[in-house]
């Protein structure tokens, strides 16, 4: 199991990391909402522990942003406030469970196990693949066959979205929403520009056409990676 924690208190974050890490569980800790979103989009995990009282973007806003960007990993929210309105706001933001501080580590473990059983979540796959086109989601590297392809973080996010939906059409709006922060001042052609960048790296050097334009809809990455 891979657990991702957003906790701005470094002592609490370290305590959770040490308490939850074992031979079957890997734990990553970040301290802000944007860091959590970047980590969740870049490397899928099994469950997220999200503190409500994060600086800047709080836990509620972070959870809403995660859901808006298509991340449906189970979220357990932590808070020092035991108010019904807070619990309701967390659940309405998209959280799956709620735990009030202070809590026993044993209860936290039990709730995390229940969440992963309930949703059937377990991320074993370390790569996204279409034919011989491979994105290593742990190390954020891209290969076409034996060739390593250098990409920017944004190019990797766009490619990852296309790979996760290989064979299906992904709209320009969905790509823009999930690959860029909502505060980004979008230009009308930015998605098309990045798709051209991808084609110049994963297709043109190999004489392939894996990314198809679906007029009036968006783009589709062929499930065979363009080698048919």
- Say what the pLDDT of residue 27 is: 93
Better pLDDT: 139 or 75: 75
φ and ψ of 177, to 5 deg: -70, -40
Tell me which architecture the domain covering 127-221 has in CATH. Orthogonal Bundle (1.10)
The residues pairing with 214 across neighbouring beta strands, listed in sequence order, are 218
Query: Mind listing the pLDDT tens digit for each residue in 105-129?
Result: 999 999 898 887 765 444 444 678 8
Measured from the Cβ of residue 181, the count of other Cβ atoms closer than 10 Å reads 11
User: Domain residue spans in the chain?
Assistant: 2-119, 127-221
The answer to whether domain 2-119 has CATH 3.40.50.2300 is yes
Return mean pLDDT, the chain.
85
* Residue 72 φ/ψ region, left for φ over 0, alpha for ψ in the -120 to 50 degree band, beta for the rest: alpha
- Biggest CA–CA distance in the chain, Å, is 60
Q: What would the two tokens of residue 215 be?
A: 């007029």
In this prediction, residues 75-101 reach a mean pLDDT of 80
CA–CA distance, 74 with 121 (Å, rounded to integer)? 8
In this prediction, residues 64-83 reach a mean pLDDT of 82
Which 3 state secondary structure label does DSSP give 208? Answer: coil
> Per-residue confidence at 104, pLDDT binned at 50, 70, 90?
very high
Query: Mind listing the pLDDT tens digit for each residue in 30-43?
Result: 999 999 998 888 77
């Amino acid at each position: 199991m891979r657990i991702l924690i957003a906790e701005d208190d470094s002592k609490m974050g370290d305590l959770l990391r040490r308490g939850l890490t074992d031979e079957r569980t890997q734990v990553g800790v970040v301290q802000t909402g944007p860091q959590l979103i970047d980590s969740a989009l870049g490397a899928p995990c099994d469950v997220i522990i999200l503190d409500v009282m994060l600086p800047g973007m709080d836990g509620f806003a972070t959870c809403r942003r995660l859901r808006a960007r298509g991340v449906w990993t189970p979220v357990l929210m932590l808070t020092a406030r035991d108010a019904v309105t807070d619990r309701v706001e967390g659940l309405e933001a998209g959280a799956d469970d709620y735990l009030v501080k202070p809590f026993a580590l044993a209860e936290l473990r039990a709730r995390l196990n229940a969440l992963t059983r309930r949703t059937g979540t377990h991320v074993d796959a370390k790569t996204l693949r279409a034919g011989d086109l491979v994105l290593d989601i742990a190390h954020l590297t891209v290969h076409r066959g034996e060739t390593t392809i250098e990409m920017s973080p944004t190019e990797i996010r766009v490619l990852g979205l296309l790979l996760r939906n290989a064979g299906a059409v992904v709209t320009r709006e969905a790509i823009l929403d999930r690959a860029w922060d909502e505060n980004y001042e979008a230009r009308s052609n930015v998605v098309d520009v990045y798709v051209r960048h991808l084609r110049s790296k994963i297709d043109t050097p190999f004489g392939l056409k894996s990314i198809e334009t679906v007029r009036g809809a968006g783009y589709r990455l062929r499930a065979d990676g363009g080698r048919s």
